[in-house]
Amino acid sequence: ALDAGIKESTGSAESSVVDSDRKANSFVDSQPEPFTPDPTPSEQTLPSATSPSTETITPGDRIIVVGKLKDEDTDWVINELPDWQHAIYTVDDPEATLRPPKNKGRESNVYLQYIIDNYDNLPSIIVFLHSHRDGYPRAWHTEFEEHDNVLNVRMLQLDFIQRNGYANLRCNFIPGCPDEIQPFRNPRDEWRTAEHAFADAWRALFNNSDIPEVVATPCCSQFAVSSAQVRKRPLSSYIWFQKWLLETELPDDVSGRIMEYLWHIIFGQDPV
């Protein structure tokens, strides 16, 4: 279910903060069907980021994507960032105009749903954010003293996103770096449940066994990506990723955390 908090300790003082009050309000379909790997998934190789020519980005050509619970206030996106389009998905309201198929997989489900819904008509820049605007501890993982997503977006260098294809919105490398996910860690740490499931998830998602020894990126699934970078993978890849997310028997905190440490790879960056 949608929950922006981190469920696994990372050794950082910040990493113990969890949005537990939101967890009680979210729901998960408790008995998903077993995930059956596609015998011929479209995903064979991982695309690299390139440097497309920089174009002027107009207000109508950039968007903020947010997943929220029904009782959460996301008016700050509209009121404070009027130069951006917005797509706000409500995960626990079956009557909402924008919603994922079910509330499962945390923010990753919403992010994938937006890409699937709009693959052929993506704005040049897409920013994926959590529903909270600012404050500590709620938005502890957001940059600056105020932990303010509005400031984060206003300071975003759009030309860099166009050139690089992708940027994590968190500059502080803890938690997440230098070696957060080690699928073959020996001896293994019992509390690293996402790490334990990472290798099997990689095989299912990418249909290969080229599993990196180390995966690292600043946490926590808030990032910007160009439409050109998104389209380096076919639409079928994102449909496949969401299918895995919806059908895996892994708990939400595990599947969501696996995706948290895959976004940069999905969008053409090196594992570390």
Asked whether residue 32 is domain-assigned, the answer is: no
Asked whether residue 24 is domain-assigned, the answer is: no
Provide the domain count of the chain. Answer: 1
- pLDDT for res 164: 94
Q: Could you tell me what percent of the chain has a pLDDT over 90?
A: 55
Q: Distance between CA atoms of 65 and 128, rounded to whole angstroms?
A: 5
Asked whether residue 186 is domain-assigned, the answer is: yes
List C-alpha distances in Å: 41 to 169, 252, 259, 269.
30, 23, 18, 21
Q: Is 77 helix (H, G, I), strand (E, B) or coil?
A: helix
**CA pseudo-torsion sign 142, 147, 152, 153:** positive
80 in Cβ contact with 88 (< 8 Å): no
Asked whether residue 18 is domain-assigned, the answer is: no
pLDDT digits (tens, 9 = 90+) for 76-133: 999 999 999 999 999 999 999 999 999 999 899 999 999 999 999 999 999 999 988 7
The model carries a pTM of 0.77
Burial 135-158 (b: 16+ CB within 10 A, else e): eeebbbbbbeeebbbbbbbeebeb
User: Which position has the higher pLDDT, 236 or 172?
Assistant: 236
Asked whether residue 112 is domain-assigned, the answer is: yes
pLDDT at 253 over 50: yes
CA nearest to 211, candidates 265, 150, 142: 265
Q: Which amino acid is at 66?
A: V
Give me the residue label for tokens 């497309």: 52
Provide Rg for the chain, Cα atoms.
17
- Residue span of the structural domain in which 101 resides: 41-48+58-266
- pLDDT for res 152: 86
- pLDDT for res 245: 97
Asked whether residue 216 is domain-assigned, the answer is: yes
